[in-house]
């Protein structure tokens, strides 16, 4: 199973829209006769690739796979049926499939007389597809709120200027994190005031790889000339101020699993008050403003006892010298993993 997990995590495999999956086929004496991994949407699934490598040696083999074999026909056929046709004797899956459209593969295998087991290294397998798993379990995307702040919690100076609170190394680091998500989300005010491009760019400031969906949330009409409406990536305007409705729309209608929230303090407060922030990433710059825009709007908290408490998951210094920022990764203590 650890080999299957390593295969699933092979470099270059897209993080979305499909899960990363690895498979190893073992003969009766424990010899590896086939292995494979899913290379992305529209390509053969891990089980099919492993079966192709094994050929006739798949008959009587044990399939060890990181995710329950799919049970539906999409761009490719159901892996459960492929395993049955190949004549495998046993299937061991780490994680059960949380996607109701594809689950049920183990039941199909058992009905065909194939021995099945599930749960081996399930947590490690689920971590491979953290946002994908979360989205299918909760019916909405996983939300990462990212912001930059000074030591005294300001995201902009009193004159409104905010470029640049974070350093150049921190901004480049942000683009790496953007590339791990499938959706960039901001509010209409951010589009009006900052005119962000909301793309993933390399050190040469040119677009890099497959771009996330750009989403603007809010009812206000926006000028067509804003950069977020260019052809660098797809953009959707969700005409709502309801964070829960926005997330469920992104999941149900756009197949989105991981939102990177980069809006201003008002939008951030709306998501926080709704309990819809699952991870916080902040870049803290070694500067003081003493006044200006707070990093987050009012949360309706009047007492220290009611504070929204966060657990620090990771701390990293990004950059050196005067260009150094501290990147904190946190998660709300009350939130589900």
Catalytic residues: 47
Please give the structure tokens belonging to residue 263: 């809006």
Nearest residue to 90 via CA among 125, 127, 120: 120
> Cα 13–82–253 angle (5° rounding)?
50
Residue 57 φ/ψ, nearest 5 degrees: -70, -10
Of the chain, the end-to-end C-alpha distance in Å amounts to: 23
Burial class (CB in 10 A: 0-12, 13-18, 19+), 203: exposed
CA distance 297 to 266: 5
Rg, Å, the chain Cα set: 23
Both tokens of residue 213?
């969906």
Cα–Cα–Cα angle for 38, 214, 102, rounded to 5 degrees: 35
User: DSSP per residue over 127-175, as a string?
Assistant: HHTHHHHHHHHHTS-EEEEEEEEETTSEEE-TTS--TTSS-HHHHHHHH
Q: What is the dihedral of CA 88, 89, 92, 98, to 10 degrees?
A: 70
Give φ, ψ of 177 to 5 degrees: -70, -40
Q: With CA atoms as reference, report the closest residue to 5 among 86, 120, 103.
A: 120
Q: Could you give the maximum distance between any two Cα atoms of the chain, in Å? A: 72
CA dist 5 and 279 (Å) reads: 24
For β-strands 258-261 and 183-187, DSSP reports them as parallel
């Amino acid at each position: 199973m650890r080999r299957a997990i390593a295969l699933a995590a092979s470099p270059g495999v897209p993080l979305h829209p499909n899960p990363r999956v690895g498979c190893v086929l073992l003969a009766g004496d424990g010899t590896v006769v086939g292995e494979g991994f899913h290379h992305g949407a529209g390509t053969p699934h891990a089980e099919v690739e492993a079966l192709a490598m094994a050929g006739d040696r798949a008959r009587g083999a044990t399939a060890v796979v990181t995710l329950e074999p799919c049970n539906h026909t999409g761009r490719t056929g159901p892996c459960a049926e492929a395993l049955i046709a190949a004549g495998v004797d046993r299937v061991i899956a780490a994680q059960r499939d949380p996607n109701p459209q594809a689950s049920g593969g183990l039941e199909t295998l058992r009905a065909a007389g194939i021995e099945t087991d599930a749960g081996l290294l399930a947590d490690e397998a689920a971590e491979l597809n953290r946002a994908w798993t979360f989205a299918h379990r909760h019916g909405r995307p996983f939300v990462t709120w990212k912001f930059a702040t000074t030591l005294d919690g300001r995201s902009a100076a009193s004159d409104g200027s905010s470029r640049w609170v974070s350093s150049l190394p921190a901004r480049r680091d942000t683009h790496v994190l953007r590339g791990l998500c499938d959706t960039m989300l901001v509010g209409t005010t951010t589009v009006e005031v900052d005119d962000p491009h909301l793309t993933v760019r390399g050190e040469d400031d040119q677009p890099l790889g497959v771009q996330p969906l750009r989403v603007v949330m809010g009812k206000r009409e926006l000028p067509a000339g804003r950069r977020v409406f260019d052809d660098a990536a797809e953009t959707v305007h969700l005409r709502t101020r309801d964070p829960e409705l926005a997330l469920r729309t992104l999941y149900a209608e756009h197949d989105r699993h991981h939102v990177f929230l980069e809006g201003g303090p008002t939008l951030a407060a709306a998501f926080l008050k709704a309990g819809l922030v699952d991870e916080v990433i902040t870049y803290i710059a070694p500067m003081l403003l003493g006044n200006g825009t707070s990093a987050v709007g009012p949360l309706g908290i009047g007492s220290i006892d009611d504070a929204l408490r966060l657990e620090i998951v990771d701390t990293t210094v990004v950059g050196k010298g005067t260009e150094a920022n501290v990147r904190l990764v946190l998660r709300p203590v009350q939130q589900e993993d």
